């Protein structure tokens, strides 16, 4: 027979969250592992601790066990004391008194967060391969078209066809290059290499790269860069990618609009706001509804159908967050969009 003191020690060292709930779902006992993650459960209900709710959960294995006395289980997502998501597999069993009446429920939860995270990454990798392969196929078709047009020009000695074909090749090689760089950035797990950078020069350089493309579609590019914005501790390549992706998307939003009355414009702003550098990219293009806005920064979501991989905004979001900042969007259908990135001017120690 195991001594009571040893029973308590075993109860505490088991690497699972273990609680005993009374019939009102109050926690009457919890092991050490639970307390380290969820805090002191004294006089609290399980749904208050796990879900930050004021009422019992709609689907609860503890409720089912109290009703039928059987073991039940389910997978769920709960929140620890710091507010972080914890993926758990919950098992419940009835506790009975000498007369066989159910007086409590013991609940054992296994933390499977790391497993689910790995599964999500593998699923994301599969989506990346599928999405990118389709986009590369489109790029290859563009390259073949450019080569075909160029070869016709050489055959017929038509300089204009040669120039057109070469421009098609250049454009699609650029698309392929950006796609691969975005893939590599999303795949890497390393802190940004911060150096002192003049943000104004980065914005100006990116605008220069898109001037010809904007002019091709009669889109006016404007910049409004504050003179009091000095150097910022950033990774220059990462910040270049953030601004480039936002600007490219803004131009695409204007190209996608069907209005014949608008004079399309994209404005890039950079200014200081408190302790942050703020980069805004505003367009008066097609705009987005609330459902589209809610999905923008998720893996491989694209508003461009088969012509987009969804990597661009994901890269911008990753750059902003890895630099300790944020990125947000304001948009409405037909009214354009404004993307705003806020980056701390100095690295927090």
Indicate the length of the chain as a whole number: 349
Helices and strands, counts by H and E, the chain: 10, 12
Q: Quote the pLDDT of residue 49.
A: 93
Q: Quote the pLDDT of residue 334.
A: 86
Within 8 A by CB and 6+ apart from 247, the residues are 206, 207, 210, 266, 268, 281
Q: Cα separation of 192 and 166, whole Å?
A: 36
Domain residue spans in the chain?
4-111, 113-189, 191-349
Q: Quote the pLDDT of residue 10.
A: 77
Q: Quote the pLDDT of residue 128.
A: 63
Q: Cα separation of 323 and 316, whole Å?
A: 11
CATH for 4-111 is 3.30.450.20
Q: Are 233 and 317 in contact (CB under 8 A)?
A: no
Reduce the secondary structure of 142-193 to three states and give it as a string.
HHHHHHHHHHHHHHHCCHHHHHHHHHHHHHHHHHHHHHHHHHHHHHCCCCCC
CATH fold of the domain at 191-349: Heat Shock Protein 90 (3.30.565)
Q: Quote the pLDDT of residue 213.
A: 83
Q: How many other CB atoms sit within 10 Å of the CB of residue 168?
A: 19
Q: How many other CB atoms sit within 10 Å of the CB of residue 298?
A: 11
Distances (CA, A) of 325 to 139, 245, 269, 301, 342: 33, 17, 17, 22, 5
Mean pLDDT by 10 residues, the chain (349 residues): 63 89 93 92 91 86 93 92 90 94 94 84 66 71 90 92 91 77 65 80 86 88 81 83 88 83 89 89 90 65 46 80 88 91 72
Q: Quote the pLDDT of residue 236.
A: 85
Q: Do domains 4-111 and 191-349 have the same CATH topology?
A: no
Q: Quote the pLDDT of residue 259.
A: 73
Q: b or e along 270-283 (b: 16 or more beta carbons within 10 Å of the residue's beta carbon)? A: bbbeeebbbbbbbb
Q: Quote the pLDDT of residue 6.
A: 66
Q: Are 169 and 150 in contact (CB under 8 A)?
A: yes
Interhelix angle for 199-216 vs 236-256, to 10°? 30
Tokens of 341: 């990135």
The model's pTM:
0.52
Where is 336: in which H helix or E strand? Answer: strand 336-344
Q: Cα separation of 300 and 197, whole Å?
A: 30
Within 8 A by CB and 6+ apart from 181, the residues are 241
Q: Quote the pLDDT of residue 124.
A: 62
Q: Cα separation of 70 and 74, whole Å?
A: 13
């Amino acid at each position: 027979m195991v001594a009571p003191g040893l029973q308590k020690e075993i109860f505490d060292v088991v690497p699972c969250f273990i609680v005993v709930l009374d019939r009102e779902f109050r926690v009457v006992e919890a092991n050490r592992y639970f307390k380290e993650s969820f805090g002191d459960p004294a006089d609290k209900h399980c749904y208050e601790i796990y879900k930050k709710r004021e009422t019992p959960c709609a689907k609860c294995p503890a409720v089912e066990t109290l009703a039928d006395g059987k073991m039940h289980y389910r997978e769920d997502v709960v929140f620890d004391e710091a507010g972080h998501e914890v993926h758990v597999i919950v098992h419940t069993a009835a506790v009975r008194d000498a007369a066989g009446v159910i007086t409590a429920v013991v609940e054992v939860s296994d933390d499977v967060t790391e497993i689910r995270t790995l599964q999500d990454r593998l699923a994301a990798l599969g989506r990346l391969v599928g999405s990118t392969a389709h986009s590369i196929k489109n790029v290859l078709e563009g390259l073949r078209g450019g080569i075909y047009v160029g070869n016709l020009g050489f055959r017929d000695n038509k300089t204009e066809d040669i120039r057109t074909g070469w421009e098609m090749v250049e454009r699609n090689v650029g698309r392929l290059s950006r796609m691969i760089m975005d893939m590599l950035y999303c795949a890497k797990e390393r802190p940004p290499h911060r150096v002192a950078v003049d943000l104004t020069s980065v914005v100006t350089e990116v605008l220069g790269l898109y001037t010809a493309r904007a002019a091709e579609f009669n889109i006016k590019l404007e910049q409004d860069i504050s003179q009091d914005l000095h150097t910022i501790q950033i990774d220059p390549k990462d910040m270049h990618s953030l601004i480039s992706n936002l600007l490219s998307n803004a131009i695409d939003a204007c190209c996608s609009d069907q209005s014949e009355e608008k004079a399309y414009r994209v404005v890039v702003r950079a200014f200081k706001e408190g302790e942050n550098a703020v980069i805004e990219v505003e367009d008066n293009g097609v705009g987005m509804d609330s459902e589209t806005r809610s999905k923008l920064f998720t893996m491989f979501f694209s508003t461009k159908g088969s012509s987009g991989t969804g990597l661009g905004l994901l890269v911008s979001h990753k750059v902003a967050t890895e630099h300790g900042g944020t990125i947000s969007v304001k948009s409405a259908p037909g009214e354009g969009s404004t993307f705003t990135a806020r980056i701390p001017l100095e690295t927090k120690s």
